A and B are shown apart, each in its own frame.
Chain A
Amino acid sequence: MTGSAQPRRVVALGMPRHATGPLAAPITAPEPFADAAARKLKDTQLRANLGHATRTIRDKRAAVVAEVDDWEALRDRAAAVKDDVIARLPELLARFASAATAAGATVHHAADAQQANDIVLGLVQAEQADRVVKVKSMTTQEIGLNEVLEAAGIAAIETDLAELIVQLAHDKPSHILVPAIHYNRSQIRDLFALRMPGFAADSDDPAQLAGAARRYLREQFLSAQVGVCGANFAVAETGSLVIVESEGNGRMCLTLPRTLIAVVGIEKLVPHMADLGDFLRLLPRSSTGERMNPYTSIFTGVTPGDGPQQLHIVLLDNGRGAVAADPVGKQALRCIRCSACLNVCPVYERVGGHAYGSVYPGPIGAILSPQLTGQQAGHNRSLPYASTLCGACYDVCPVKINIPEILVHLRQTGPKPLAERQLMSALSWVMRDRRRWKAALRAARAGSAPLRLMTRRRGHTLRRAPWPLSAWTAHRDAPLPAQESFRDWWRRTHE
């Protein structure tokens, strides 16, 4: 699409577009959240694994966050930096592109998943490679890159241990940070025995399993010609990319292949290198609950004699421009994908990541997927309801995204079923007038009187109401109307 001689400056921000078409599938829920959640709730093994994992990470995070005196100031600063980026996206993208180009990288712009996949596929084919080694990347999952490469006969090898487990199982990740959170060790051993060439561990000790993955992947690293990565941050001023990781698989992919392709969401920008100081303090603490993750790589273009001698950077819009245009929803673009909001979410903890039907699960997924695709896509309009609005996600978010506010905003602006719209307009007519309201309350009390006796033992709540009210009681209990209104009580006792 573009060459280093004349980097294209066109960024798909002029006409905000949602991510659409068949390639929006990885971020489109195929069924209503409530249905998927109801099924997942029955999986007791999943709930046990999730409960253990989220509790452990939550506690670790709390301990290392408490060490930082100026945590709140850090969050405010980081949020302000990201808001500035979102407000100046076209300008900063242009600056990033020219700095990266000057440092020896080739920059490409992709408006959607289809364009990004076409660019990457073309580059891999030009290298005549039959496989690529991959660093864990949410962005390449979002565009379904592995499937596209595989359809063209190119193996995309995930090298993060958890991603490898999920890939070998032909499964989907269930957590941003620990994608194989839903597998236990003996399941992993059986999987390796079945699908990992040369697997020879006879125990299910995690150290042995990790050792087997090390041996298998090392061969891949030493022979791969092309590496594919995302980025945690992209520095506009210098054209640098930042990759934060634990295992060293990222460093392998970033240094050994001769060609490296980075697929980077346009919201990953920060203006200056110095801005990273705050973000690198926030991210590991929020994510794994460590003061610092084992490895962080920061690289700028191509360095002669060190690492890949060809670097391609694909800057991806895929609906982000549309999100940036929404005055409330744009906060979601601040997200640094730390997954802290997943670990504190009472809904996520019980249903797990798959129920959200998107590669972005949990509270961030509930606000990001419907915004990237538009709420009409699949069942994404059900995702803003995957929350109790308790606000725990907002409290832990290192970039202070007001997730409950966006959830409510999406509920208000999203498409609603006809019955709900009619009910709401009827209610509004009744509630606008005191006499109408009083009459309605009286009718409700009279109508529900026979039920009071039946529901006596359950605190006068109804488990199942007849249609059409059954839509409401399918997932919640309904209290019966009080026997006396507040006004009646006041008149009886005070007048």
Chain B
Amino acid sequence: MTGGGAPMSELLHRFAERAGDYRADVRLCSQAELPGVLSGLLGKEVVLPQGVPPEWVAGLATIVDDGLSPADLDRPQLSVLTGCAVAIAQTGTLVLDGGPGQGRRLLTLVPDHHVCVVFAHQIVADVPDMFTALPDPTRPLTMISGPSATSDIELNRVEGVHGPRRLDIVCVIDK
């Protein structure tokens, strides 16, 4: 479901494939298609960090984080929508640094559903490139590769032990 007829860059393709390997749900769309894709993914209650562009969520009921408590965020129907700072193709990893549109670390941790928007130009090839691409690596960094998981019981993979059990990634193909 590529949009805009833009050729999918190799990095974007690899990122989407690798993030999918971790059982994150990955979608590709154009800038224009983004609000439609997001409204299809988000639930009834949506929390946003400060700095998410209003046009992404036009027409949706949203709560902007202004110091919500962990208990506020610990509600089953809640989705959180964020952007990211960098994404890593080789490992299918999202990197959040608390910058605009990403918010405090607990926002993407306590809710059960995380939707993250990645722009194609944010994708770097491998882990070492992340450190050069980040504006300031001393901000609190969270690297996310698929939903929370454990293999502690007889090595059976179980998803969603403590972090969000559902992770949706929307890749936006740049113009």
Contacts and interface: CB of A to CB of B under 8 A. Distances in A.
> Do A and B share a complex?
yes
Interface residues of A, number: 62
Interface string B120-160: 00000011111110000111111111111111111110101
A276 B22 CA distance: 22
Contact of B150 (A161, A183, A298, A306): A161
A42 B112 CA distance: 45
Nearest to A99: B138
Contacts of A214: 160-162
Interface residues of B, number: 49
Contact of B131 (A159, A221, A276, A306): A276
8 contacts: A52-B155, A240-B138, A247-B149, A247-B162, A251-B162, A291-B21, A291-B90, A303-B139
Contact of B91 (A56, A206, A291): A291
Contacts of A273: 131, 137-138
B74 A303 contact: no
B162 A218 contact: yes
Interface in A200-242: 206-207, 209-210, 213-214, 217-218, 221-222, 238, 240
Interface of A: 49, 52-53, 56-57, 103, 159-162, 165, 178, 180, 183-185, 188, 206-207, 209-210, 213-214, 217-218, 221-222, 238, 240, 246-249, 251-252, 254-256, 273-274, 276-278, 280-281, 288, 290-301, 303, 305-307
Contact of B126 (A162, A206, A281): A281
Name B's interface SS. Answer: loop
B139 to A, nearest CB: 7
A249 B162 contact: yes
B98 to A, nearest CB: 6
Contact of B109 (A57, A183, A240, A248): A248
B13 interface: no
Contacts of A305: 67, 104
Contact of A277 (B128, B147, B151): B128
Contacts of A213: 161
Nearest to B93: A292
Contacts of B161: 161, 210, 213-214, 246-249
A256 B110 CA distance: 10
